[in-house]
Each structure stands twice: as structure tokens, then as C-alpha cells.
Amino acid sequence: MATTTANTPFPTSSASPATPAPAAAAINDTASKAGDAVDKGAAVGHDVLNRVVQGAHSAIDRVAETAAPAVQRLQDGVQAAGESLSQRASDARELGDEWAESLRSTVREHPLAAVATALAVGVLVARLAR
């Protein structure tokens, strides 16, 4: 008949409850050694992880140092292009205003010619649309 001891959940046939079976002692020793190996492995794994993290940080720092001047040049180029673009837009607005004022003065000086021109352009657009 097999009995269960307090130290181990496995049934044993010859061991008394006060003394663990030799197999149970061997299992406990093996588990203790395995635990020590896991602790040593965890320490080694922790060291390796720290080295990997430090390597990643240094790689990111190198990339950031290399990319910073390129990003700055790109920002300067975009800013210069934006200034150039806004200058061109301002020039175009001024030119449009000049043309509009010139057209207004021409219409005021020659109102019948302006109406006749508008009528001719309307007829031309209507024929092209057909």
C-alpha cells in the first residue's frame, strides 16, 4: 500500500513520514542545483540584456548625431522655399492688382469698347461650347 509523505506529493511504499525517500532527496538536490543554475543564468542573461540595451542606446545616439545636420538642412531648405514661395505669391498678388487697376482705368476711359469686347468674347465662347 502506498502512502503519501508530508514532504513530497508522490506516493512511496517504504519511506516513513519522518524521513524522505532517497529518490525525493535526490530530486530536492537536483532542484536546488537547477535553481542555482537558473539564478546564474538569470544573472548572465541580465548582463547580456544590459549590454544589448547599451548597444542600442549608442546606435540610436550615433544615428541621431548623423541625422541632425541633415534634418537641419532640410528645415532650412523648407523655410527658404516657404519664404521664396510667399514672396512669389506676394509678387503675383501685386501683379494681379496692377492688371485689375489697369483694366478698370481702360474700361472707364472707353466704356463702349469694353462692352463690345465683352459681347464679342461671350459670342466666341458660346460658339466654341457648341
pLDDT along the chain (130 residues), means of 10: 52 53 61 62 73 80 80 77 79 91 91 92 93
Instruction: Report the alpha-carbon distance of residue 41 to residue 77 in Å, rounded.
Output: 53
Contacts of 99 (CB under 8 A, 6+ apart): none
Report the predicted TM-score, pTM, of the whole model to 2 decimal places: 0.35
H/E segment holding residue 120: helix 111-129
Helix axes 111-129, 22-109, angle to 10 degrees: 130
Grid cell 508522490 — which residue?
A: 10
Decide if 14 contacts 23 (C-beta within 8 A). no
| pLDDT computed for residue 26 by the predictor | 60
